[in-house]
Amino acid sequence: MTLNPTAKTLLRHEFIGLKIKVAKSSHRELCGICGTIIDETKNTLVIYHKGKPKVVPKGYSTFHCNLSDGTIIEIDGKLLIGRPEDRIKKRR
């Protein structure tokens, strides 16, 4: 696997350190949050936004992830639910 995620391998990569934006969410106050992922749990992403960590539930949100080549990928948060170490091992 390469060090930088691609559109095909994104779900099998570590998310901490990636730039991400909450594109849609059933929680309106979370829409538009963008920044760097600083932590991930089974059901949440912690995004460093405007100098503060913001906890965003994965299952209620759709994210836009910026890859190193400038590509923007839309990810349904429901695909991300689960422990990060288990998600990395899964084959899709």
Contacts of 28 (CB under 8 A, 6+ apart): none
**Each residue's pLDDT tens digit, 79-92:** 889 888 887 676 65
Distance CA 36, CA 91 (A): 25
The total of structural domains in the chain comes to: 1
Residue 43 domain-assigned? Answer: yes
Rounded to a whole number, what is the distance in angstroms from the first to the last CA of the chain? 15
Q: Are strands 44-49 and 61-66 parallel, antiparallel or unpaired?
A: unpaired
Domain that residue 57 falls in: 37-62+74-87
Distance CA 52, CA 46 (A): 10
Residue 5 domain-assigned? Answer: no
**Each residue's pLDDT tens digit, 39-74:** 999 999 999 999 999 999 999 999 999 887 888 999
